[in-house]
Amino acid sequence: KWEDEVNNRLSEGIPEDVRITEKAKDDLDKIKPKVKAIVSVKKEISEEKENFESLIQKKSKLDSALKDWKEIVKKVNIPMKAWNMENAVIPEIDDFDFDIFEDSENVRSYFENLQKCKKKVNKLKEITSEFDFNSSEDLEKEKTDAEELLETLKDPEDPPEDATEVLLTDPASGGKYPVISIPINEYRKNMQKVNRTPRVHKKEELSEEEEKKLETRQKNLEKTLKKLSKAKQNLDNAKETFKAIESDKSLPEDKRESLETKIENIQDKIKELRDRFKGNGSILYNRFDRGDFNLDFKKETSKNDFSKISEVVKECESDIKEEISKIIGKIPEKILEKLKKAEKELEVELSTESIEKNIQKLEKIIKDLKEERKKQKEIQEWLQKEKNNIQDQLKDLSYSKYILKNLLPYPRALYKIADEKVDLEKIVDRLGDYIQESVEKSYRNIIPDQTLEFVHKREGEFEPRLNGQYISNPSGSQRAAISFGIMYTLASQFNLPLVMDEAADRFDTHRLSDFLSLTQQVAEENKNMQICLTIYKTNDVSDSELEKANTYEVQGQSYSQKSIQPYEAK
């Protein structure tokens, strides 16, 4: 029965298990590209969908801002001089979101300066509306003339002797500008523009009316000078602001270019993501034979495209899970059960890591099956050898029967000779001495902390003494140690196998290790001795100890049938 099981396992069982397991491994390896395609698409959607949609919205916002900004820049019209800023065209910017720029303070300041400069110029033009000024130089000249006139009114010069009116030339002008000296009583307003610096001469005596006119004229001139001074202050402020405007005049165009660059960068990122979505999607469609990939992920279609690709991913996940389940379902139940016991069950998870782990588990099964085949081959060879030995023994037995049959006439004579030659008492005594020696030696190796004497009294009768005291009822471990010594003596003296049932069940963990070490030592010292130990449970026996010997696992299938398999460490 055992031989048939071994032969069947070698010829059919193991090869078929290896074939099925290798087929499952290869099938799992083939679906890895499909799983990778699913994982890649899911990862892209999970990690980049939100970013992609954000970039789409950001680009849309920037496109709108760029359009508005171009209109603003187009409308801006700045004169060449600060004096003409009243004619500047400054577009309305209150509704524009300046935060769209990375640095918005400088461009805000630019438009604020435009408004400020224009306001200052409008103010000075309002102040000087009664004058006919065409430039800032006119204003400055008028102010200077007024200051000098006021100064001469407050401190007039003495007139030339015997002259009421003298035409002079201003030495400072090199004779270019005439200077008219006019007696104060004859001064008229329309003469103010005759020269750059009118000089007022006083009369020796002024009438009350003349004094009053002079005082009124001086007050009016002071008011005029105050206006001109205020206008000049606004002009100076406008010029200073205009200088800042001039230094920043490229800002509007710079901001336009920065917006365009930012939009181009975002467009590049959008294109990169679109290409990745389309690339991974195409691979997914190709792996699952779903035809051409026609999703484009444009601004107007991206929402529907993401919904569609997510739906396809779910369908592909369902297909691949079913495919993995079918592959696992073809693996023999005993192999799956073995994986379950080792807590290495195959997983139906959609990840390349999970598939790779499944493949590694199946590779381990294939390796174990090949190891099993090797051990089963050894068992087969051993069984064949034992079978041949039995056949030889049967042959010898047939010869023995023949010899006995032919020697029957002479038994009495033979027995008489044997009786004369063999002294059974001596044989028993010698065997008893061997047993005593072997038992005490075995006991010392297994239970070194106790001293046992196994005294051979006579005719195979023994008396056990522990530490010098007779023991009538030895413990389980003591009995097992004594039994091993007796069995070893019989096996060595009569060339028999050393067989012990429940060999490890009566030792604690520490003594069990010593017992197994002793059996290993005996096996090494007696190369021709067969040692067979049966162990009910292997809980306390380490895998390293079991691997030192040919170990087999016997499982009862029925009352009369047993299944014997090479033992595999759990």
CATH number of the domain bearing residue 450: 3.40.50.300
How crowded is the C-beta side of 482, counted as CA atoms within 13 Å?
Answer: 20
Look up the domain containing 515 and give its range.
423-566
Q: Strand, coil or helix: what is 329?
A: helix
Judge contact between 477 and 447, C-beta under 8 A.
yes
Residue 521 has φ and ψ, to the nearest 5°, of -65, -45
Tell me which residues of the chain have a pLDDT lower than 70: 1-6, 9, 11-12, 156-207, 210, 340-352, 380, 383, 386-387, 390-427, 459-460, 537-540, 557-560, 569-570
Assess if residue 90 is contained within a domain. no
Query: Taking the model in full, what pTM does it have?
Result: 0.49
Q: Where are the beta strands (DSSP E) in 174-225?
A: 178-183, 199-201
Q: Strand, coil or helix: what is 50?
A: helix
Judge contact between 489 and 529, C-beta under 8 A.
no
Q: What are the structure tokens assigned to 191, written together? A: 């003469």
Assess if residue 428 is contained within a domain. yes
- In this prediction, residue 265 carries a pLDDT of 94
Beta bridge partners of 555: 563
Assess if residue 399 is contained within a domain. no
- In this prediction, residue 419 carries a pLDDT of 45
Q: What is the pLDDT of residues 27-61, one digit of tens each?
A: 878 888 888 888 888 888 888 888 888 898 999 99
Percent of the chain topping pLDDT 70: 77
Judge contact between 200 and 152, C-beta under 8 A.
yes
Query: Whole-number mean pLDDT of the chain?
Result: 77
Neighbours of 189 (CB within 10 A): 8
Judge contact between 568 and 538, C-beta under 8 A.
no
Assess if residue 436 is contained within a domain. yes
- In this prediction, residue 412 carries a pLDDT of 46
**Tell me, what amino acid is at 518?**
L
Q: What are the structure tokens assigned to 422, written together? A: 């063999």
Assess if residue 23 is contained within a domain. no
Q: Strand, coil or helix: what is 452?
A: strand
- Give a three-class secondary structure readout of 379-396: HHHHHHHHHHHHHHHHHH
Provide the Cα torsion 188, 192, 194, 196; round to 10°. Answer: 150
- In this prediction, residue 79 carries a pLDDT of 92
What domain count does the chain have?
Answer: 1
d(CA 226, CA 237): 17
Neighbours of 421 (CB within 10 A): 7
Q: What is the pLDDT of residues 344-359, one digit of tens each?
A: 666 656 666 777 777 7
Assess if residue 43 is contained within a domain. no
- In this prediction, residue 103 carries a pLDDT of 85
Assess if residue 496 is contained within a domain. yes
Assess if residue 486 is contained within a domain. yes
